A and B are shown apart, each in its own frame.
Chain A
């Protein structure tokens, strides 16, 4: 018999605790505002997780930077390859990636799905006992104890970040006008790079998050870090007129539940006076 409820009443932490303590085997589905997460458990351990239609192996490996868009296209063009396991074998035999890298990317993807769930304060859930993932899915066994601990820590962090960055819809980013003199030792993750590339006073934090496939927690944490590093500053979103915006990166999947930013029109050609101003400045350096 399925276990059903709403995260409003029974939180993700409690749900995972239950699955862990009762050593349950089955499938957990949680839906909220059209978004859907599905996780599989075996004897209380997480073995598979996906969010929406964003869990294909090639998407996961692309996002993790383990394969290139060209390599992705090359393997997908082989019509006989359909399942994740087959894709994984093909990627390994082609020398594009290793088994270890695939498992690491899948593990990180599973964690991102589960941690995202911790930030949901509501959502219908349903646990179907003894349902297992499809035969062709790549599974990785993970203990729930650490996940629960980390998820709880993130919930506390989320509360703090909500206080710091309460409004994702009306705030945008711009590069700091007066950068700190010491910007040494700045190292950015791939996700931070993506956010940086969409910095524009006309792109709200929410739009950037959707386009980069980040949830509220992730975008808040990244922006908070960039703010503290002195790289960016918050500004109100500038809404007038249609504006140029960066295109999503080629070959990188964007969040599928939300529409991405519209395509960018061709950039305007610079005027001569603008170029002359730059030349004059560089001559004076």
Chain B
């Protein structure tokens, strides 16, 4: 069984969990919080939720979707997660311009990890105050040849479209047999 992975990244609360949940064949829930484990002497541990989805392609191939932890103090995991990725999706909350700078920074970080295809998904396009994908392209200074796609992470068809656009970009750059 071969496995490949796509990374879903973006600022905290951009909709990464919803995005993966909408398309994954396994249930994944995630929030970040503090827990108390009464069975341990150490009274409190920081936990990191797991955004982890899976799509069985066929009997020999599985696609894993990994969501990066949104908070920057866990960014040491980003590089680990990005190893060997086919490509990545930068999810942006289109109604929260205060997160655009962070999204831009995350985009730069991931581009430096690996020269793999990526797309930007302008999430929450169903909300009234959402910035349009083209406005987001300008705000995030995204190159013209990179796709900035409208997205509603809670809608499966919308998520499918984003993933497909990423895969089409990967296909263009993929090697022949």
Contact = CB atoms under 8 A, between A and B. Distances in A.
B115 to A, nearest CB: 9
Interface string B49-84: 110101111100111100000001111110111011
Contacts of B160: 282-283, 285
Interface of B: 1-4, 23, 26-30, 33, 35, 41-42, 45-50, 52, 54-58, 61-64, 72-77, 79-81, 83-86, 114, 156, 160, 163-164, 167-168, 170-171, 173-177
19 contacts: A65-B74, A68-B76, A175-B62, A183-B28, A187-B47, A187-B49, A187-B50, A190-B48, A193-B74, A194-B77, A244-B84, A249-B79, A250-B76, A269-B175, A270-B4, A271-B175, A277-B61, A278-B61, A282-B167
Given A188-B48, A188-B50, A190-B48, A197 B81 contact: yes
Interface residues of A, number: 52
Interface in A80-103: none
A117 to B, nearest CB: 15
A277 B58 contact: yes
Given A146-B41, A271-B176, A278-B57, A175 B77 contact: no
Interface of A: 62, 65-66, 68-69, 108, 111, 146-147, 150, 175, 177, 179, 181-190, 193-194, 196-198, 244, 246-247, 249-252, 264, 267, 269-279, 281-283, 285
A186 B29 CA distance: 7
B164 A111 contact: no
Contact of B83 (A68, A182, A267): A267
B9 to A, nearest CB: 15
